[in-house]
Structure 1
Amino acid sequence: MPPTNSPTLRQRRLGAELRKLRERTGLTTTGAAQLLGVNQARISMIETGRTPVSADRVRSMAHTYDCSDGPLIDALASMTGRRTRGWWEEYREQVPVALVDLAELEHHATALRVALLFHIPALLQTTDQARALFQAVAPPMRQYEIEHRLSHRMKRQGVLHSKNPPSYTAIIHEAALRMGFGGSAVTRGQLKHLLDMSELPHVTIRVIPFGAVEFPTTGQSFDYVEGSVPQLDTVQLDSHHGACEFLDAEAQLTKYRAVLDRMESCALDTTESRDFIDNLTRDL
Structure 2
Amino acid sequence: MPPRTSPSERQRRLGAELRKLRTRARMSGDDAAKLLDADRSRVSHIEAGRVDVPRNGLYKLLRAYECEEGPYFDALMAMAHDRGRGWWDEFTGVMARRALDLAELESRSTSVCIHEPTVIPGMLQTEDYARAVISSVESDHRTLDEWVRFRMERQRALADFGKYHAIVHETALRVRVGDKKTMRKQLLKLIEVARLPHVTVQIFPFEKGPYSSHSGSFLLFGGLTPELDTLYREYTTSADFTGDGNRIAEYARMFERLAALALAPIDPSAAPEVQESQDSLSLLQHVLYELR
TM-score (norm 1): 0.90
Note if 1:159 corresponds to 2:157: yes
Distance 1:96 1:145 in 2: 12
Contact 1:216 1:262 in 2 (8 A): no
Does residue 50 (structure 1) correspond to residue 50 (structure 2)? The answer is yes
Give the conservation status (yes or no) of the 8 Å contact 1:126–1:193: yes
Q: What is the aligned residue count?
A: 279
1:139-150 map, 5 Å: 140-150=138-148
Q: Given that residues 52 and 82 in structure 1 are in contact (C-alpha distance below 8 angstroms), is that contact kept between their aligned partners in structure 2?
A: no
Q: 1:55 to 1:203 in 2, by over 3 A?
A: farther
Give 1:72's aligned residue: 72
- C-alpha displacement at 1:212, in angstroms? 1.7
- 1:258-283 deviations in Å (ceiling 9; x for gaps): 11111011111223322321222122
For the residues of structure 1 that align with 2:204 and 2:218, how far apart are their CA atoms?
Answer: 15
Residue identity (%): 36
Counterparts of 1:165-184 in structure 2 under 5 Å? 165-184=161-180
C-alpha distance in 1 between matches for 2:64 and 2:185? 56
Cα distance change of structure 1 residues 36 and 85 upon mapping to structure 2, 3 Å threshold: closer
Alignment of 1:212 with 2:208, yes or no, is: yes
Residue 267 in structure 1 maps to residue 274 in structure 2: no
2:94 corresponds to = 94
Deviation at 1:217, TM superposition (A): 4.9
Give the Cα–Cα distance (whole angstroms) in 2 for the partners of residues 186 and 86 of structure 1.
31
Partner residue, 1:26 = 26
CA drift of 1:46 comes to 1.8
| CA positional deviation for 1:214 | 7.7
Task: After superposition, give the CA deviation of every residue in 1:17-68 in whole Å (9 maximum; x if it has no partner).
Answer: 1011112233221122124433323322321223223444333212212333
Residue 274 of structure 2: aligned partner: none
Distance in 1 of aligned mates of 2:51 and 2:255: 35
Q: Which stretch of structure 1 is more off in the superposition, 189-198 or 207-216? A: 207-216
SS in 2 for 1:79: helix
The RMSD of aligned alpha carbons is 2.1
1:256 to 247, 251, 264: 251
Counterpart secondary structure, 1:172: strand
Cα distance in 1, alignment partners of residues 35 and 156 from structure 2: 44
Is the 8 Å Cα contact of residues 71 and 229 (structure 1) preserved in structure 2? yes
The unaligned stretches of length 5 or more in structure 2 are 268-278
Q: Residue 226 of structure 2 corresponds to which residue in structure 1?
A: 230
TM-score, normalised via structure 2 length: 0.88
Q: Which structure 1 residue ranges, 5 or more long, are not aligned?
A: none
Say which SS state the counterpart of residue 81 (structure 2) adopts. coil
Q: Judge conservation of contact 1:124–1:157 (CA < 8 Å) in 2.
A: yes
**Contact conserved, 2:115 with 2:167, CA < 8 A, in 1?**
yes
Cα distance in 1 for residues equivalent to 2:215 and 2:259? 16
> Paired residue for 1:200, among 171, 196, 199?
196
Cα distance in 1 for residues equivalent to 2:256 and 2:212:
10
Residues of 2 paired with 1:219 and 1:258: CA distance? 11
Distance 2:93 2:260 in 1: 41
1:277 is the counterpart of 2:284: yes
Q: Provide the rounded CA distance (Å) in 1 between the counterparts of 2:239 and 2:50.
A: 21
